[in-house]
């Protein structure tokens, strides 16, 4: 009964979203303010019924209702309760229900936290979002109904959740990622609303900035968490695979990163107006493309959902209508659009332009690599090839290096025109200092490698420039330290975000260049030497988990005769699906993770054991978290907490006269 109610709630949510699209449109047409404002209250209704529907599916999971086909496929009575809960979004249907829930959440937020918008503009934004929602609900109801029953003959036991997904990472990763993906619908809706009303002034850029920052921050955290999950759960010790699904989340991130910079330029200086609109459309397009790639089955990946061509076709139609429509609208309106403000060659605008070019080109080359197998198949009679990390590394790294140089150099630039003396001041000394630091780090890691020295130098150069920028802001004033704390949060957000990039860069280069990986045959009692560590294998014992049997290994790690840790990697056999999973065990040290995984059992109690040492690999995720947090920090900045239109106006006037910041 509850399951049917859940299904019914979903239908109601769909109908309400339809009304939310139609009523305000009629209102706009007739100039009826009452109808125009219905969008706001309907947003609450759509949200409420989607939540109810989501709760109903959760209930079906927690009560082991295997008459629901989706539950039977993805759960099991032995599954621990927290995974029964997260199994709700463990496969296609339920995860798309989560997607619609996230969409209705964003719509609700936009409806209620958009006071500075005129009623009419807000209505347009909400109409666009409601239109997208209707598409999502129809897709869910018509092709992927999670509430479908298999009555009267239903299984007495479920097939279990994919063991890879029985992990804390899966509980948190998809919701964060979807907040990011779907959140990009907000700047998209703002962009479309401004095209639609032909109000391509700078105000839409100001209004959509906090939303874009929020979505981008969620996306950043989601990707970071996904990478961490892949590292400790997949058992290969890798943290990024250039897999089609990872690319599907990375491309929107690159575009969104370009977008947050370009929005700043548009808001502050009125430049790149039409480009910014286009980026907002692209960002969400890449989100939809990602959903399509993951769910259509035309590309395969370790992470892809069980796939169905019919669903893929439905999404492709949706993409064609939404993106095709948006780009047509864009072509019509952008025809007459011009940037009014000129800027000097030394202005920050130029750096942002270069940043945007590099980021969009990166997204484009990743898109080419991701879709190339498909194009190849189309042109060569179905012959299949796969494009792997060699391609992506070869094209992506050369694009990121100039970006890093540019990033370091441009931190102290200013809008319109930068005093070249300020920009270049002390760069020679900074660069010399960071080279010393970079080489120092390389020596500490124990390898005078050109890549490590180079990247570490760039990372330090960026960091020192950020420090210099902060110093410039407080220099010569009274009580500089107090003043430093009083800097707007937007400044801190910028500093922390870019510092995060420096941290990630250092983590990546040392993890890639310095990792030591050994695969050994180890019998109980054997000792292996890896780097300056000694690893002793004590054998395995059988352990019973809630829904799996496991061979748990015991390895002691010594350094200079001292016991550092006992690691217990596992090889698990999940009972319901009979699948085998490798659970690595990791000793986390700042100097380098010691990563141990069991390979295959060999004769007489011996095992193939995989031991990796990964120096500084943690920096990748620490940096990712810093970048994500910087996005949230920017939301707390004073100007976004100011509600009334009037005060908003005053502030923007004041900011215009002050030194502006991103």
**Site residues, other proteins (CB under 8 A):** 73, 155, 159, 162, 274-275, 278, 281-282, 285, 292, 296-298, 300-302, 304, 306-310, 312-313, 316, 319-320, 323-324, 327-328, 330-331, 334-335, 337, 371, 374-375, 377-378, 382-384, 386, 576-580, 582, 600
Smallest gap from residue 294 Cβ to other proteins (A): 11
Smallest gap from residue 438 Cβ to other proteins (A): 38
Q: Which one, 377 or 534, has the nearer CB to other proteins?
A: 377
Spatial contact of 232 and 584, defined as CB atoms under 8 Å apart: yes
Q: Which one, 419 or 519, has the nearer CB to other proteins?
A: 519
Smallest gap from residue 278 Cβ to other proteins (A): 6
Smallest gap from residue 408 Cβ to other proteins (A): 30
Smallest gap from residue 285 Cβ to other proteins (A): 8
Smallest gap from residue 333 Cβ to other proteins (A): 9
Q: Which one, 109 or 575, has the nearer CB to other proteins?
A: 575
Instruction: Looking at 144-236, list the stretches that DSSP marks H as alpha helix, in order from N- to C-terminal side.
Output: 168-183, 185-196, 203-233
Distance between CA atoms of residues 516 and 497, nearest Å:
30
**Residue 537 phi/psi, 5° resolution?**
-95, 125
* 3-class DSSP string for 36-73: HCHHHHHHHHHHHHHHHHHHHHHHHHHCCCCCEHHHHH
Q: Which one, 521 or 589, has the nearer CB to other proteins?
A: 521
Distance between CA atoms of residues 362 and 608, nearest Å:
39
Q: Which one, 185 or 278, has the nearer CB to other proteins?
A: 278
Distance between CA atoms of residues 513 and 362, nearest Å:
22
Smallest gap from residue 571 Cβ to other proteins (A): 9
Closest CA to 285 of 251, 246, 240, 257: 251
* 341 three-class SS: coil
Q: Which one, 386 or 527, has the nearer CB to other proteins?
A: 386
Q: Is 82 buried (19+), middle (13-18) or exposed (0-12) by CB count in 10 A?
A: exposed
Spatial contact of 411 and 466, defined as CB atoms under 8 Å apart: yes
**225 DSSP β-pair partners:** none
Distant-in-sequence, close-in-space partners of 602: CB < 8 Å, separation ≥ 6: 521, 608
Q: Which one, 498 or 612, has the nearer CB to other proteins?
A: 612
* 643 three-class SS: coil
Q: Which one, 335 or 481, has the nearer CB to other proteins?
A: 335
Smallest gap from residue 183 Cβ to other proteins (A): 22
* 3-class DSSP string for 72-122: HHHCCCCCCHHHHHHHHHCCHHHHHHHHHHHHHHHHHHHHHCCCCCCHHHH
């Amino acid at each position: 009964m509850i399951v049917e109610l859940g299904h019914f709630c979903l239908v109601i949510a769909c109908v309400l979203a339809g009304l939310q699209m139609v009523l305000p449109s009629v209102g706009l047409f007739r100039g009826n303010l009452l109808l125009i404002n219905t969008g706001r209250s309907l947003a609450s209704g759509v949200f409420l019924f989607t939540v109810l529907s989501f709760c109903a599916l959760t209930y079906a999971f927690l009560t082991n209702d295997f008459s629901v086909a989706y539950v039977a496929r993805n759960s099991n009575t032995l599954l621990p309760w927290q995974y029964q809960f997260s199994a709700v979004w463990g496969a296609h249907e339920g995860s798309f229900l989560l997607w619609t829930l996230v969409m209705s959440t964003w719509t609700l937020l936009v409806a209620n936290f958009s006071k500075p918008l005129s009623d009419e503009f807000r209505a347009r934004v909400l109409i666009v979002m409601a239109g997208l929602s209707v598409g999502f609900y129809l897709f869910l109801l018509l092709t992927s109904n999670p509430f479908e029953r298999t009555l009267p003959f239903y299984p007495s036991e479920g097939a279990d959740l994919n063991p890879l997904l029985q992990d804390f990472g899966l509980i948190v990763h998809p919701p964060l990622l979807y907040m990011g993906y779907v959140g990009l619908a907000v700047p998209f809706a703002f962009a479309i609303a401004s095209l639609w009303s032909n109000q391509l002034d700078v105000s839409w850029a100001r209004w959509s900035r906090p939303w874009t920052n929020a979505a981008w921050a969620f996306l950043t955290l989601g990707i970071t968490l996904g990478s961490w999950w892949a590292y400790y759960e997949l058992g290969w010790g890798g943290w990024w695979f250039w897999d089609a699904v990872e690319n599907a989340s990375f491309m929107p991130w690159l575009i969104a990163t370009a977008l947050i910079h370009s929005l700043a330029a548009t808001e502050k200086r009125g430049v790149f107006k039409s480009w910014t609109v286009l980026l907002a459309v692209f960002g969400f397009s890449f989100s939809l493309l990602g959903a399509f790639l993951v769910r259509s089955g035309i590309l395969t990946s370790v992470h892809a959902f069980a796939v169905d061509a019919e669903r893929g076709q439905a999404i492709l139609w949706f993409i064609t209508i939404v993106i095709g429509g948006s780009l047509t609208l864009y072509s019509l309106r952008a025809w007459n659009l011009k940037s009014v403000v000129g800027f000097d060659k030394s202005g920050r605008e130029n750096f942002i332009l270069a940043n945007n070019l590099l980021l969009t080109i990166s997204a484009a080359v990743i898109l080419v690599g991701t879709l190339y197998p498909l194009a190849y198949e189309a042109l060569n009679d179905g012959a299949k090839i796969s494009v792997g990390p060699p391609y992506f590394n070869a094209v992506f790294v050369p694009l990121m290096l100039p970006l890093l140089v540019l990033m370091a150099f441009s931190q102290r630039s200013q809008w319109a025109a930068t005093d070249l003396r300020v920009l270049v001041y002390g760069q020679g000394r900074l660069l010399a200092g960071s080279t010393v630091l970079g080489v120092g780090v390389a020596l500490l890691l124990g390898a005078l490698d050109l890549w490590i020295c180079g990247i570490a130098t760039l990372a330090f150069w960026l960091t020192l420039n950020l420090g210099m920028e902060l110093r410039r802001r407080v220099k010569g004033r009274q009580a500089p330290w107090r003043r430093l704390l009083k800097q707007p949060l937007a400044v801190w957000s910028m500093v922390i975000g870019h510092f995060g990039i420096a941290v990630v860069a250092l983590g990546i280069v040392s993890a890639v260049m310095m990792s030591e990986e050994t695969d050994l045959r180890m019998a109980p009692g054997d000792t292996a030497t890896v780097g300056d560590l000694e690893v002793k294998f004590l054998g395995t014992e059988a352990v019973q988990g809630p829904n799996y049997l496991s061979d748990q290994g015991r390895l002691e790690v010594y350094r200079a005769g001292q016991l550092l840790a006992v690691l217990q990697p596992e090889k698990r056999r999940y009972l319901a699906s009979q699948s085998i999973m490798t659970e690595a065990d990791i000793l986390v040290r700042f100097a380098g993770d010691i990563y141990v995984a069991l390979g295959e059992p060999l004769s007489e109690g011996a095992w193939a054991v995989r031991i990796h040492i990964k120096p500084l690999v943690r920096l990748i995720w620490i940096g990712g978290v810093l970048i994500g947090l910087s996005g949230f920090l920017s939301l707390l900045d004073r100007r976004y907490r100011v509600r009334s239109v009037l005060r908003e106006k005053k502030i923007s006037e004041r900011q215009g006269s002050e030194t502006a910041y991103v």
